[in-house]
Every structure is written in C-alpha cells, then in structure tokens.
Amino acid sequence: MSVKSGVVPVDEEITFPSNEIIVSKTDLKGRILYANDVFCRVAEMTTSDVIGQPHSIIRHPDMPRAVFKLLWDQISNGHEIFAYVKNMSATGKYYWVLAHVTPSLAPDGSIVGYHSNRRVPPKKGLEAIKPLYRELLDIEKSHKNGQEALAASTARLQAMLSGAGQDYDSFIWSVAA
C-alpha cells in the first residue's frame, strides 16, 4: 500500500472505544518506531505500513499548522502537551483524538524521541475546538506564502489565548471539563 499517496479525505468518521488508547513512539524527526494495534486498526494501516514513516502520514488536512507548530515547539523543548487532533486514515476517513505527547528521555536527560497516547476526546472539548481550528485553517488558507500563513494563524491562536488569560494547557483543560 502506498500510504498517504493520493488519499482523499472523506466525510466519514472512525470511532474507537473510550477504554482503548492509541499509542505510538517516534524518533526525533517524527518517524514512527512503534505503533500499537489500536493505532493500526483506527488508521486502517498495518504495522509494516507505518513503521519508519513520518507520523504525518495520519495528518488530516483540516488540522491547522499552528497547532502542530505549538506541539513541536513544546515537545522539542522537553515539555509535554495535550492537544485535540483530527487524524486521517489510509482510506481518507477521519478520527478525533485527545493526544498526550511527551519527550522520551535518555538516562542523561537528552531527548531521544517522542511518545504519544491518544484517547477519545470529550465531546464538549470538540465543540469548542472545531470552530477554533476552522478559523485557524481559514487564516492559513488566506495566505499564499506558507510562512506567512503559519505566522498569522499562530498569532491568532496566541491572541485568543492571551485574551482569555490562559496558556494552551489551561485552555485545553478548560474546554475538556
């Protein structure tokens, strides 16, 4: 299977039981080193499809780049992050997760990769996240230059957080409750 090549998003949601956890581990560049059976089943891929591939093989085009920038900034600086993420399966179906991503550390404390656990997200949280992500994506699409698009949507996300008097983590937990 040529994963991601020519995959077109379809408006069909994949769900998974709330007692299951999607798990993956990556190297420093985000290449998948481990994916559990739940990851593979929900992403509609086999282990051999995903191992060695960039984690972005499950990225849905509805995800704002600003959210991934925030995620990578956090984890590459040694911090964990929780984020709502819309992923895409090998057949173009989508699935939402509440992701918890942490750096994996060597005994000397250096970052050697990343570990992510993803759960079924709370419905209340999705109701708050979906309009925000649409707004950020619209901002990104309104710019022809990718760097300007990312800067504009990141600035909007930061302005929203500042206006609410929250950092990103506080915001995520406020909408999840």
CB atoms inside a 10 Å sphere around CB 15: 9
pLDDT at 2 over 50: no
Give pLDDT, residue 1. 37
Asked: is 22-121 a CATH 3.30.465.10 domain? The reply is no
Average pLDDT over residues 36-46: 98
pLDDT at 89 over 90: yes
* Domain boundaries of the chain, sorted by first residue: 22-121
pLDDT at 177 over 80: no
CB atoms inside a 10 Å sphere around CB 116: 23
Flag the least confident range among 32-41, 95-104, 129-138, 160-169.
160-169
CA dist 35 and 101 (Å) reads: 14
Give pLDDT, residue 28. 96
Q: What's the mean pLDDT when you consider all of the chain?
A: 94
pLDDT range class, residue 145, cuts 50, 70, 90: very high
CA dist 3 and 90 (Å) reads: 6
Give pLDDT, residue 72. 94
Beta sheet of 22-26, edge-to-edge order: 32-35, 22-26, 111-119, 94-105, 81-88
pLDDT at 39 over 60: yes
Contact 50, 3 (CB under 8 A): yes
| Higher-confidence position of 116 and 4 | 116
